Chains A and B, each alone.
Chain A
Amino acid sequence: MSISVKEVSDISEADARRKSPDYLDQLEAEAIYVMREVAGQFERPALLFSGGKDSITLVRLAQKAFAPGKIPFPLVHVDTGHNFIEAIHYRDELAAATGSKLIVRYVEDTIKAKGLKEQTGKNASRNWLQTFTLLDTIEEFEFDACIGGARRDEEKARAKERIFSFRDEFGQWDPKRQRPELWNLFNGRIHKGENVRVFPISNWTELDVWAYLKREKIALPSIYFAHERELILRDGHLLANTPVIEKDENDQIVTRQVRFRTVGDMTCTAAVESSAATLDEVIAEITVSRISERGETRIDDQQTEAAMEDRKKGGYF
């Protein structure tokens, strides 16, 4: 038999000549749509804000989505206590400028309250411990949706995650039981205690984020641009020289002109040597760069091949 379907009507010539939106307009429209779905489907959403360029992009998208109203959910920051001071200042200024409510919860407090054991030694990081603080924060405020800045081009496990990513009451992601995500019909129905992580810029690449920041003329924390800094040279990676990183005799202290490509926890975020002082120069450097963002600067993912997959299953962002 043949499945009979009607022909789609042809559009007129005039319409065909219409100026087409460019890729940034398309990505922006999709992300705004996702933001509005969150506001429309959930009672207590939150935007996870780190001070990094991806979450800065999210804030701009949320502003556009709800203008002239304010962003209808709080910004939530899980502070490891190992953040760059520039990122923290930026965070506070942005929250004030957008009139958003800012909620900060500290990993330090979770460690004390739960008697958690921190990693020790030279590669110790609190990155993994953030998960506990995040889950406690979700429980404290009964957040039913948490918007995050993850992108699918970052990492293999992320490449398979939904835009609306369902988490059970323990915050766990189960890659085998993801909800089918059809068209743009996002299913955010959940039971009490469960929540959804939402990633509006899933389909953006690192370069798209930079291009958008430039187009929107968004100021960034200064550490994204080239500056002179004292660093720890360890296994070919340049780490900020800070008391929160334990050093040993193999570490070399050097002074270099660098910028950071991501601004996560200082203990697992490496710098790249660079002379790029403006957004244009950063974009130019990235365009020719032959190393992907996480490979270059995220030390935590390189430990095992499935590192991100394991962390996500445990409730990580």
Chain B
Amino acid sequence: MGEKQTFTHSVIQSFKIKQVDLLRFITAGSVDDGKSTLIGRLLYDTKNILADQMEAIERASKSRNVGEIDLALLTDGLRSEREQGITIDVAYKYFQTPSRKFISIDAPGHIQYTRNMVTGASNADLAIILVDARHGVVEQTRRHSLIASMLGIPHVIVAINKMDLVGNSEDAFLEIAKSYQELAAKLSIKDLTIIPVSALNGDNIVDRSANMPWYTGETLLSVLETVNVLKDQNTEDGRFSVQYVIRPQTEELHDYRGYAGRVQSGTFKKGDLIKVLPSEQESKIAKIEFGGNEIEEASVLESVTILLEDDIDISRGDIIVSLNNSPIVSQDIEALVCWMDDKKTLKPGNKYVLQHGTARSRCSIRDIEYQIDINSYEKLDEVESLKLNDVARIVLRTAQPVAYDPYQKNRSNGAAILIDETSNVTVGACMIE
């Protein structure tokens, strides 16, 4: 009992001393690449698997005659998936080490699930792209890398898995690393790390491998723990989409009018001069509040309430921006789109609802400029329509002006979704260019 308490105490102490933050990462690869095994291994080696979960997978491993304990079973979710032995949706797993909390986003790798990967990638700070050491860079690797780049994921780890099956050979690793770098040169990957691993044996995942003494770089977990996420944020361009107007209308708060929202980028301080878009009205920040208490300033991703000095007309869908740093305001938009509807196609002339920030506007598709073959990266011209999982550059016109930044400069204010007006389903992911 005494020993147990000491351990607890030290864990809690380490949380208190160190600032623990969150990292969201997506793992891309197919079942064959050992993706589920990799996640299982990370959870297992960081001691994040609980006793009853372990018993459950031991039971399941036995009933399926897979011999040893199958760590992949830890991330298998829904019954329909278990029956088919594949992951059909985006699944989330949570684990922690003394320095960070992790949200692992697990998306399927097959081409028919591109929309699931795009969905998972949209919120990721980092992507782990799995490559089977026996096969090297394949079509799927190219596809996953394109999606990671297009969705602006700042950090990419290429985990060359199953190194044990190629004799833990340094030459094999270097050859694959070289061909990956050639591929990456065509994309926009800001921070790339390539690591030789064996998820099955736990080599270079959490612990350094004795089987690959030639590898002197970081382990997978060490990269996950140290990547600087704060630096990825756009801290320059002040953007704040208004979600809701707080008007208590009580006697003591008769004139209170607070704009509730989340800082998408940049920072806001009391006294800052601002502009409201698309109306172009100008004012000054009178006060910033969090939970009803005044705070000095609000930075990226903080959910706060802004009060202005002037009584101007602002409602949900408006965006408050720094006065001298304006986004582009236009009704004509060019964007990369990933089409997500499995029933209907996207064609020029079609009308949708565009949701950007908290604003919604009807829009009509003017043109499909070109489609991108997500495996070969070739541009395909004269495309008439887009079907599920197609990626293309499109031109659209909105009914109301949209105040946006290019996606690659500002992920939060450059993203938008297309909604089908009749079914209300989300049918497209747009990265505004």
CB-defined contacts of B305 to chain A, threshold 8 Å: 67
With A36-B260, A185-B355 as known contacts, state yes or no: A23 contacts B22, CB within 8 Å: yes
Q: How many A-B residue pairs have CB under 8 A?
A: 231
Cβ B80 vs Cβ A175 within 8 A: yes
Say yes or no: A63 contacts B119, CB within 8 Å. no
**Interface flags, A165-187, vs B, CB<8A=1, else 0:** 00000000001101111111101
Most chain B CB within 10 A, of A6, A70, A184, is at A184
Instruction: Indicate whether A306 reaches chain B with its CB closer than 8 angstroms.
Output: yes
Report yes or no: A21 in contact with B21, Cβ–Cβ below 8 A. Answer: yes
The smallest beta-carbon distance between B407 and chain A, in angstroms, is: 8
Q: Known: A20-B230, A40-B243, A190-B424. Contact between A3 and B187, CB under 8 A?
A: yes
Asked if residues A22 and B21 are in contact (CB atoms below 8 Å), the reply is: yes
Asked if B412 and A2 sit within 8 Å, CB to CB, the answer is: no
Q: Does B411 contact A (CB under 8 A)?
A: yes
Please determine whether A179 and B21 come into contact, CB atoms closer than 8 angstroms: no
Quick one: which of B50, B78, B248 contacts A157, CB cutoff 8 A? B78
Asked whether any CB of chain B lies closer than 8 Å to the CB of A29, the reply is yes
Residue-wise, chain A 290-305 has the 8 Å CB interface mask toward B (1 for contact) of: 1110011000000001
CA distance A182 to B416 in the complex (A): 9
List B residues 384-433 near A (Cβ within 8 Å): 406, 408-409, 411-412, 415-417, 419, 424-426, 429
A284 within 8 A of B: yes
Q: Report the minimum CB–CB distance from B21 to chain A (whole Å).
A: 6
Identify the closest chain B residue to A286 (Cβ).
Answer: B8
Given known contacts A20-B21, A185-B416, A306 and B408 CB-to-CB distance under 8 angstroms: no
User: Is A83 in the interface zone, CB < 8 Å from B?
Assistant: no
Give the chain A neighbours of B340 by CB distance below 8 A.
180
A-facing mask of B54-79, CB < 8 A → 1, else 0? 00100000000000000000001111
Question: Is A138 among interface residues, defined by CB-CB distance under 8 A?
Answer: no
B171-195 vs A: 1/0 string, CB under 8 Å?
0000000000000011110100000
- Give per-residue flags for B240-277: 1 if the beta carbon is below 8 A from chain A beta carbons, else 0: 00011011100001001010111000000000000000
The stretch of A8-16, A87-95, A121-129, A246-254 in contact with B is: A8-16
A283 within 8 A of B: yes
Digitize B181-215: 1 where CB-to-A-CB distance is under 8 Å, 0 elsewhere: 00001111010000000000000000000000000
B356 to chain A, nearest CB (A): 8
Whether the pair B235, A6 counts as a contact (CB closer than 8 A) is: no
User: Hey, which chain A residues are within 8 Å of B53, CB to CB?
Assistant: 292, 295
Known: A152-B94, A156-B78, A178-B89. A37 touches B52 (CB 8 A): no
Q: Is the CB of A3 within 8 A of B355?
A: no
Chain B, interface size: which category? 35 or more
Which residues from B are CB-within-8-Å of A28? 303
Q: Can you name the residue of chain A whose Cβ is closest to the Cβ of B264? A: A184
A112 at the interface (CB under 8 A from B): no
Q: B364 — which chain A residues lie within 8 A by C-beta?
A: none
Most buried by A among B4, B231, B260: B260
Q: Determine the residue in chain A with the shortest Cβ distance to B336.
A: A3
Among A40, A190, A309: residue with most chain B CB under 10 A: A40
> Which of chain B's residues have a CB closer than 8 A to the CB of A4?
188
Picked from A23, A29, A187, the residue with its CB within 8 Å of the CB of B262 is A29
Closest A residue to B60 using CB positions: A305
A261 to B409, CA, bound (A): 45
Judging by beta carbons under 8 Å apart, are B77 and A160 in contact?
Answer: yes
A306–B377 Cα distance when bound, in Å, is: 41
B416 proximity list for chain A (CB < 8 A) = 185
* Interface residue count on the A side (C-beta < 8 Å): 77
Residues of B near A288 (CB, < 8 A) are 4, 7-8, 11
Annotate A69-109 by CB proximity to B: 1 below 8 A, 0 otherwise.
11000000000000000000000000000000000000000
Known A-B contacts A22-B20, A183-B415, A203-B103; the reply to A29 vs B303 at CB < 8 A is yes
Name the B residues within 8 Å of A21 (CB-CB).
21, 301-302
A residues 21-73 in Cβ contact with B at 8 Å? 21-23, 25-30, 32-33, 36-37, 39-40, 63-70
Contacts of A15 in B (CB 8 A): 235
B44 touches A (CB below 8 Å): no
Given contacts A33-B303, A40-B358, contact A69 B94 (CB under 8 A): no
B379 within 8 A of partner (CB): yes
Is A242 interfacial (CB-CB < 8 Å)? no
Q: Is the CB of B425 within 8 A of A179?
A: yes
Which of A1, A6, A291 sits near B50, CB closer than 8 Å?
A291
Contact of B79 among A36, A159, A181, A309 (CB under 8 A): A309
- Option from A22, A64, A182 in Cβ contact (under 8 Å) with B415: A182
**Cα distance A283–B149 when bound, in Å?**
40
Q: How far is the CB of B137 from chain A (nearest CB, A)?
A: 16
- CB of A24 to closest CB in B, whole Å: 9
CB distance from A31 to the nearest CB of B (A): 8
Q: Is the CB of A160 within 8 A of B78?
A: yes
Q: Are A290 and B50 interface neighbours, CB within 8 A?
A: yes
Q: Which of B127-135, B156-164, B284-292, B327-335 has 4 or more CB atoms under 8 Å from chain A?
A: B284-292
Closest Cβ of chain A to B200, distance in Å, is: 23
Q: Is the CB of A33 within 8 A of B262?
A: yes
Chain B residues near A (Cβ < 8 Å):
4-5, 7-9, 11-12, 19-22, 50-53, 56, 76-80, 88-94, 96, 101, 103, 115-116, 118-119, 122-123, 146, 149-150, 152, 154, 185-188, 190, 228, 230-236, 243-244, 246-248, 253, 256, 258, 260-262, 289-292, 299, 301-303, 305, 316, 340, 353, 355-358, 372, 377-379, 406, 408-409, 411-412, 415-417, 419, 424-426, 429
Known: A1-B377, A183-B415. 14 other contacts (CB 8 A): A3-B188, A6-B409, A8-B408, A16-B230, A36-B260, A179-B426, A180-B340, A183-B412, A205-B101, A208-B101, A283-B12, A285-B8, A288-B4, A295-B56
A sample of 7 cross-chain residue pairs with beta-carbon separation below 8 angstroms, ordered by A number, consists of: A23-B20, A28-B303, A40-B244, A67-B246, A156-B78, A187-B417, A306-B79
